[in-house]
Amino acid sequence: MAHSGPMTDWRKAKLPVFAFLAPATILYTLFMIYPLIDSIRLSFFSATNGGDLAFVGLDNYRTVLSDPDWSHTFWNSFWNNMKFFAVHMLVQNPIGIALAAVLSLPRLKLRNTYRTLIFMPTMLSVVIVGFIWQLILSPVWGVGADILDIVGLKSLFGPWLGKEGSALITMAFISVWQWVGIPMMLIYAALLAIPEDLVDAAIVDGATHFEVFWHIKLPLVLPTVAMVSILTFVGNFNAFDLIYAVKGALAGPNFSTDIMGTLFYRTFFGYQLQLGSPTLGATVASLMFLIILAGVLFYLFVVQRRLSRYQL
């Protein structure tokens, strides 16, 4: 944050400054920071038979991470979440970058129309998106097969969402379809900020648009690519709605689409014959918090620092 010029001394206006800051700070603290800290606190407790909370130290963490009943589910959802994230990094972000690169070509007609239309799925609720694709991929309706038939790939079609081996990847692709507009837009904005002289000079020297993108523009927008990656990471490890809408809290078939968000929901509220446990739920949430925090810190202290050192 660049501060422009000297700021006004607050001592002349103590009361107004306090009044400006208090409402936002109080609401934010009460409904965001306090619940986060309290959840971490709860993760060290367990409910007794009487309903009171008893301090159990790291027992809940031991249960979730190493109890045979729990650890399999936990690590399954963790690795599923990693795969979910990997698909976004390998498919969503490269497509987003490519679309942004094409959209930012000079003298492109209809660029605003394309941008508006391609961004549209991002506006839709995850629930709607989930059902749309559930219908399209349904073997009963057969539209998915018909569409593949047009490009001659009908033989590939299968009940992707219903099979253990392909359900998670299919869900990840549905998510990619919806969210590709975000990396496209952020990287497009960064590409627009590159001074034109730089590009023109290279073109005059005989570089192609692809070379200009690869050697000049891409290195300059790397900080944005890194930011998009961390946003993807946080979003993916916090995801829940799409899996819940399509597969329910049980994340079937046979937990093959279970990710951290659905595990958290089930642990907290229970399912079928298993009772929910707020304290174990808090433990799962705290573990999610640690994973997200590790990603954010890695971004802040390793990626961003290294990138800003090389920039210009």
Partner 1 sequence: MALNIRKDHASRAVIVHAVLLSYTLIALYPVFLILINAFKSRKGIFREPMALPDSKTFSLDGFSKVLAKADFGTYFFNSISVTVVTIAVVLLLAAMAAWALSEYKFPGNTALAIYLAIGIMVPIRLGTVSILSLVVDLGLVNTLSALVLVYVAQGLPLAIFILTEFMHQIPKDLKEAARCDGVGEFKIFFAIILPLVRPAVATVAVFTMIPIWNDLWFPLILAPGDGKQTITLGVQQFIGQYVTDWNAVLASLSLAIIPILILYLIFSRQLIRGLTSGAVK
Q: How far is the CB of 164 from partner 1 (least distance, A)?
A: 21
Contact between 98 and 185 (Cβ < 8 Å):
no
Q: Which is nearer to partner 1, 108 or 165 (CB)?
A: 108
Q: Which is nearer to partner 1, 3 or 68 (CB)?
A: 3
Q: How many CA atoms lie within 13 A of 46 on its CB side?
A: 10
Q: Which positions ≥6 away from 291 have C-beta within 8 Å?
A: 78, 237, 260
Q: Which is nearer to partner 1, 68 or 113 (CB)?
A: 113
Q: Give CA–CA dist 216/194, Å, rounded.
A: 9
**Quick one: which of 142, 132, 160, 125 has its CA closest to 241?**
125
Q: Give CA–CA dist 179/84, Å, rounded.
A: 13
Q: How far is the CB of 280 from partner 1 (least distance, A)?
A: 10
Q: Give CA–CA dist 14/154, Å, rounded.
A: 71
Q: How far is the CB of 163 from partner 1 (least distance, A)?
A: 19
Look up residue 38 and give its two tokens: 């309290």
Q: State the angle between helix axes of 181-192 and 164-179 in degrees (0 to 180), rounded to the nearest 10.
A: 40
Q: How far is the CB of 86 from partner 1 (least distance, A)?
A: 20
Q: How far is the CB of 139 from partner 1 (least distance, A)?
A: 13
Q: Which is nearer to partner 1, 9 or 197 (CB)?
A: 9
Q: Give CA–CA dist 280/268, Å, rounded.
A: 7
Q: Which is nearer to partner 1, 33 or 90 (CB)?
A: 33
Q: Which is nearer to partner 1, 66 or 208 (CB)?
A: 208
Q: Which is nearer to partner 1, 68 or 310 (CB)?
A: 310
Q: Which is nearer to partner 1, 99 or 251 (CB)?
A: 99
Q: Give CA–CA dist 247/161, Å, rounded.
A: 9
Contact between 199 and 216 (Cβ < 8 Å):
yes
Phi/psi at 240 (nearest 5 deg)? Answer: -160, -50
CB count within 10 Å of CB 122 equals 15
Q: Which is nearer to partner 1, 64 or 99 (CB)?
A: 99
Q: How far is the CB of 191 from partner 1 (least distance, A)?
A: 10
Q: Give CA–CA dist 190/174, Å, rounded.
A: 26
Angle formed at CA 311 by CA 309 and CA 312, multiple of 5 degrees: 120
- Radius of gyration from C-alpha coordinates of the chain: 24
Q: How far is the CB of 166 from partner 1 (least distance, A)?
A: 19
Q: How far is the CB of 250 from partner 1 (least distance, A)?
A: 13
Q: Give CA–CA dist 258/246, Å, rounded.
A: 12
Q: How far is the CB of 102 from partner 1 (least distance, A)?
A: 6
